[in-house]
Structure 1
Amino acid sequence: MTVRDAMETMSSRARSFICHGEIEVPELLDFRFLRTLSTYKYFGGYLDENVVNLRYLSGEFREGFQISSSISLLWNLHILIVFGCGVSTAPVEIWKMHQLKHAKFVRGVMYLPDPPSGHSDVMMENLETLKGVLDFNLNEEVVKRIPNIKKLSITYKDRVKCLSYLQCLSKLESLRCIIQYGSDDEYLQSISFPHSLKKLYLYCEDSFPHLEEILEKIGSLPLLEKLELRYGQFATRSWEIVEGQFPSLKYLSLWHCVDMEFWTLEGFCLPRLEQLHLGWVESLEEFPSEIGEIPTLKSIELWFCSESMAVSLKKIVEEQEELQGDPSFHVLVRSSNVSQELQSLATPNFRVDKW
């Protein structure tokens, strides 16, 4: 019996179909009781009432394939994971999928149209995760349709002004935002974040202008535990963290903030920081000495930063060794050009690697 024969024989009784090989799901099978369909191959022919009991749907779309409006017939669907390429467009009927909790678009991006106007009952009230969406038109109407969203991953080539509505997503805990092209500074400065945020990843291809102003907003978030920021410009060439900022932050990563020359900490700030990663922060020459006084700090990594910054950090480590005998945190310095002086700083608590 072939695999296809077996599938045709058992399809009417199957509750799950999970295939991680090269087998393509044959169409026109009787999958009326199927709850889980997961395949690495094309599944476009199954977005109809024949699989109305599906709870979990994961698979690949062929290039150029668009999700059919019939997807709204999968009214029991809780999880939708689509592997595609390029840009696809979801039908407006996706807003009728009241049970959908997690929607992820992987490798490609999905354009999600605005919900139908005049139909306030058309919403995804159970949606908690939305990832891989392009130019998501966040506005007052859209915010009402996703009241329970917790995880959001969005990419913008346009419509950056929509980011001012982020603060209205009162249950949002994780945000990943990529801005691919330069936008008006006014719109970038209008970004506001909900106080519910715990994880934040920001990437701007053309660099965030006035980064210190954006970081001042982020620093006031009471629950934020993880912050990753890629590319930014400090107009004042300095970053000052004042008392009370970043009260819950545990992980901080800044990469390609090339014009930050000064960094100061004042008062009681960053009280829970555990991991600090800096990459290509080449203009910063000295670490704030207060870093060594953070009791929760476990590790610091420097990637392709200035040698003088590594030297200043080594002094902080030595001060902690004198006070405590063994510093509470460890350091990793990585550079493409490791000088003899830099290599001489290496100890068990202060690694120096050539990359």
Structure 2
Amino acid sequence: MYDSTVRSLLHLADGLLSINICFPLLRVLDARNITFSMFPIEIVQLVNLRYIALIYIGKHEIPASISKLCNLQTLIVFRRLWYDKVWILYLPSEILKMPQLRHLLFEQGFLPCPSDAGNGNLQTLTGVIDFRCTVEALQRIPNLKTLGISYHYDSRTKWSIYCLENLFNLHQLETLKCDFVPKPSRKPLVPLVVDLAFPPNLKKLTLSGCRISWTNMLTFGSLANLEVLKLKDFDFEDSVWKTNEGEFRKLKFLHIGCKNLEFWEVEGTHLPSLQCLSLGNCPRLNCIPSEIGEIPTLQVIALFGCEKSVVTSAYSIQEEQQDLGNDGLQVHNHKDFYKIGNSFRKMIQKIEASV
């Protein structure tokens, strides 16, 4: 196997793998069927690698020597749960200095803010926890298109140190997912800063575990290019949501999971491009406004664990549209998203992916 000309290696069996210098020309290494307890240091000798995908268990740290992989474009490191323990992946600051790196995907990784040179090629950064969005840090990753971050907080957390309002400076950002996770699981939801700002080119936004102020909702509605909005496990500032004319002009996919939302006031012209409305974990919502049925582009209303009155209003909207000759609107009611059929799940995913 020495002096092998193999370029790609996908390890599909569960077991050990010798990835030493046997494959000097290796470009692709996918070993997600192996669980590593520590980073396989031999990898840094494979200087032709473009793509690495690994699974780890326990406390894991990627060595600074990974920066030797000057051709690396994609690094995927996921974790495997062990006795329900949550382990954090620690990343070296040198990782953002790798010139060809484009995609960094993790589940829970701690990335220190870069203090000097950054990476103008980086397009994807997901799974980073407690990332400080200082102006200096964001200037070192200016061309980021996809960002996934989470914040673990308690009653002593000072949100100003994370500088979330600076996300506006990522002018190329198209997809943002931000989760707020309380350290004691029964703590109340955390409020977002009032002056939270998003970059103008944002197309997909997912927020979970937080409280949304009406100022925030006006910010969401004013995003000219927003096509997907998911608000999960959150609270509104008030129990009534009123959309306005001119908001959400391009929004195609809307998911609402709000615990305190009771009334929703909307006109058919407020969401002119909506294709899929998804509602889940809205125990106080009394009904879906009938005006939703007037949206000409609407294809699907998906309900997950909603009250009977909400389900009834959805089918009433469907019947009304059928009476008007519109047979294209589908209504799907499920108690649990994870128990729905594959065909329906794929349909929802297809609509979202088409955006």
TM above 0.5, yes or no, is: yes
- 1:188 maps to a residue whose letter is V
Structure 1 position 97 matched with structure 2 position 101: no
The residue aligned with 1:351 is none
Which secondary structure state, in structure 2, belongs to the residue aligned with residue 72 of structure 1? helix
Spell out the pairing of 1:81-96 with structure 2 (5 A cutoff): 81-85=76-80, 86-96=87-97
* Deviations 1:85-123, CA, capped at 9 Å, x for gaps: 5102111211211210001114xx11001112xx3xx11
Distance apart, 1:52 and its partner CA: 1.4
Contact 2:26 2:46 in 1 (8 A): yes
Distance apart, 1:288 and its partner CA: 1.6
Distance apart, 1:233 and its partner CA: 2.1
* Deviations 1:35-91, CA, capped at 9 Å, x for gaps: 11221324612242x211211111223422311110111111001111225102111
C-alpha change, 1:240 and 1:187, in structure 2 (3 Å) is: closer
How far, CA to CA, are the matches of 2:57 and 2:310 in structure 1? Answer: 49
Equivalent of 2:227, from 225, 232, 239?
A: 225
* Deviations 1:121-159, CA, capped at 9 Å, x for gaps: x11110001111111111100111101100111111157
C-alpha change, 1:23 and 1:306, in structure 2 (3 Å) is: closer
**TM-score, structure 1 as length reference:** 0.82
How far, CA to CA, are the matches of 1:61 and 1:316 in structure 2? Answer: 49
The residue aligned with 1:115 is 114
The residue aligned with 2:83 is none
**TM-score, structure 2 as length reference:** 0.82
Which secondary structure state, in structure 1, belongs to the residue aligned with residue 65 of structure 2? helix
Structure 1 position 153 matched with structure 2 position 153: no
Which secondary structure state, in structure 2, belongs to the residue aligned with residue 189 of structure 1? coil
Structure 1 position 242 matched with structure 2 position 244: yes
Spell out the pairing of 1:98-247 with structure 2 (5 A cutoff): 98-106=99-107, 109-116=108-115, 119=116, 122-158=117-153, 160-161=159-160, 162-181=163-182, 187-204=192-209, 207-210=210-213, 212-247=214-249
How far, CA to CA, are the matches of 1:278 and 1:184 in structure 2? Answer: 19
The residue aligned with 1:331 is 331
* Deviations 1:264-310, CA, capped at 9 Å, x for gaps: 11472211111111112222213222111100101112222222233
**Equivalent residue pairs, number:** 316
Distance apart, 1:311 and its partner CA: 2.8
How far, CA to CA, are the matches of 2:262 and 2:191 in structure 1? Answer: 24
Structure 1 residue runs without a partner (length 5+): 1-8, 337-355
Contact 1:242 1:267 in 2 (8 A): no
How far, CA to CA, are the matches of 1:29 and 1:321 in structure 2? Answer: 66
Identity level (%): 37
Equivalent of 1:44, from 7, 16, 40?
A: 40
How far, CA to CA, are the matches of 1:185 and 1:334 in structure 2? Answer: 29
Distance apart, 1:160 and its partner CA: 4.3
Which secondary structure state, in structure 1, belongs to the residue aligned with residue 324 of structure 2? helix
C-alpha change, 1:47 and 1:284, in structure 2 (3 Å) is: same
Structure 2 residue runs without a partner (length 5+): 81-86, 337-355
Distance apart, 1:11 and its partner CA: 4.8
RMSD: 2.2
* Deviations 1:224-245, CA, capped at 9 Å, x for gaps: 1111111222333111111111
Contact 2:8 2:29 in 1 (8 A): yes
Equivalent of 1:71, from 60, 66, 74?
A: 66
Contact 1:284 1:309 in 2 (8 A): yes
How far, CA to CA, are the matches of 1:321 and 1:13 in structure 2? Answer: 62
Larger radius of gyration: 1
- 1:61 maps to a residue whose letter is Y
C-alpha change, 1:284 and 1:53, in structure 2 (3 Å) is: same
Spell out the pairing of 1:272-311 with structure 2 (5 A cutoff): 272-311=273-312
How far, CA to CA, are the matches of 2:314 and 2:77 in structure 1? Answer: 45
How far, CA to CA, are the matches of 2:332 and 2:280 in structure 1? Answer: 12
Contact 2:20 2:43 in 1 (8 A): no
